[in-house]
Amino acid sequence: MRIVIADDSLIVRAGLTRLLGAMDAVEVVGEAADAGELHRIVAHDRPDLAIVDIRMPPTFTDEGIHAAGRIRRDHPSVAVMVLSQYVETAFAMELLDGGRTHVGYLLKDRIMQRAALIDAVRRVSAGDVVVDPALVELLLAAPSVPAALAVLSDRERDVLVLMAEGLTDRGIAERLSVSPRTVGTHIQHIFDRLGIADSATDNRRVRAVLSYLDAVG
């Protein structure tokens, strides 16, 4: 897997390069300090994944989000994972808007957890949508059930939330103290109730998570 890292902090870039360099079959092929440099590297080297800071020069506001959207639009084969210092729901929803796949939103605190970083990198590059658990918790703080999710039972919503956190069927089963087969049944019901038909061109699990994030965002 070929990765490019974009962050104005040399320390962050060096830390990520060291962590990712320890992974099997991973090569950091470029580093960028701003969005312009990032786009040049992506166009020239065509990496598999771009890891992008949400706030970069010159304004340090939302350059990373716009860069991520442009990369996914202009280079669909390049996955993007955005890093943020804080939970910013508006930016996260902008990143996920339009049913994008191969994208992730991770807090910078999470990258110090090597296992979490490696898991996120692998899943995003494989086409999944990865959302930091802290963002999921914030979205869950909404006092009422969004209308789009009202068709689901309480347990189905529990399963969907854990899907959004990135848990596998086995991980969900362990969290809810049920069997993986039961989890599979709940997930099938979620697909049916949300009208997510089977398709050879996309991932129903990703579409379900995107539906959840859109409903609660």
- For 144-170, write each residue's pLDDT tens digit: 557 778 888 888 989 999 998 888 899
Percent of the chain at pLDDT above 70? 94
Q: Please state which of the four CATH numbers 2.60.120.560, 1.10.760.10, 2.40.50.140, 1.10.10.10 is assigned to the domain occupying 142-216.
A: 1.10.10.10
List the chain domain ranges: 2-132, 142-216
Total length of the chain: 217
Mean pLDDT of 161-180: 91
Mean pLDDT of 53-75: 91
pTM greater than 0.75: no
Which of 168, 153, 177 shows the shortest CA–CA distance to 205?
168
Residue 113 φ/ψ, nearest 5 degrees: -95, 95
More confident residue, 89 or 189: 189
Identity at 216, one-letter amino acid code: V
Mean pLDDT of 7-29: 92
How does residue 36 score in pLDDT terms, banded at 50, 70 and 90? very high
Residue 97 has pLDDT above 80, yes or no: no
Q: Which two tokens stand for residue 78?
A: 């390049």
Buried b (16+ CB within 10 A) or exposed e, 57-93: eeeeebbbbebbbebbeebeebbbbbbbeebbeebbb
Tell me, what's the pLDDT at 169? Answer: 92
Average pLDDT, the chain: 88
CATH for the stretch 2-132: 3.40.50.2300
Distance, in Å, from the CA atom of 94 to the CA atom of 182, rounded to the nearest integer, reads 33
Tell me, what's the pLDDT at 103? Answer: 92
Identity at 82, one-letter amino acid code: V
Mean pLDDT of 72-98: 86
